[in-house]
Amino acid sequence: MADMKGIHLITNGKLTEKELQDLPFLQHDVDYIHIREKSKTAQEIQTIVSFLLEKGVPKQKLIINDRVDIAAINNCHGVQLAYHSLPVDVVKGTFPELSIGKSVHSLEEAVHAEKAGANFIIYGHIFHSLSKKGLSPQGISRLQEITQSVSIPVVAIGGITPENAQAVLKAGASGIAVMSGVWNAADPLEILKQYQSVFNNGEGGRH
């Protein structure tokens, strides 16, 4: 399984036609694309995946949120499971070829996910985030506690900017997940290049 290093671009749950058309161009500056469209049907998500594959996005860059069936059918890199998703061990037992991520919000959840067989976890939110208004961020110290307590890769999410991304990497995160910081930017490609430069100049580099 991959080490999950680099930039994880997550769709914003309201992927527009223009954003979808832009994804094949943005994919060159990201390591993974997470299709996270909770309000869309399986058929709609399959249409998105088919479009990206037709446009040359490698299937090994694609991670599907929650929909194990779509990830497996398309031989995608993996699936990202949430609290309401199928259990990690069930998915791993049936689809051992998939890289299984689990979204966690505490040390206890992180340790449990690893024991259940998750290949990586997404932990957050680290900083104040537009998508988590009113909720206190976890912070760098808790992130470091997580990365030191599990042996699987930790991808950090929530309010991560090119300016604070270095601190996230120093805390032991393998990757950073970005969403609103890219989709709300006037120039998403320029922002991604700024994130990319952090990995090129920072801890451990990119794979």
Please give the backbone phi and psi of residue 54, each rounded to the nearest 5 degrees, phi first. Answer: -65, -30
Contact 61, 33 (CB under 8 A): yes
- Among 8, 34, 77, 125, the one annotated catalytic: 125
Q: Which two tokens stand for residue 137?
A: 């961020």
In the block, tokens 């999950």 appear at 4
Can 125 be counted among the known catalytic residues?
yes
Please give the backbone phi and psi of residue 140, each rounded to the nearest 5 degrees, phi first. Answer: -70, -40
In the block, tokens 């992130």 appear at 143
Residue 79: strand pairing partners: 64, 100
Q: Which two tokens stand for residue 129?
A: 């985030």
CA 86 → CA 21, 92, 108, 150, 181, distances in Å?
31, 10, 18, 22, 29
Q: Which two tokens stand for residue 196?
A: 């990319």
Residue 99: strand pairing partners: 78
Q: Which residues are catalytic?
A: 125
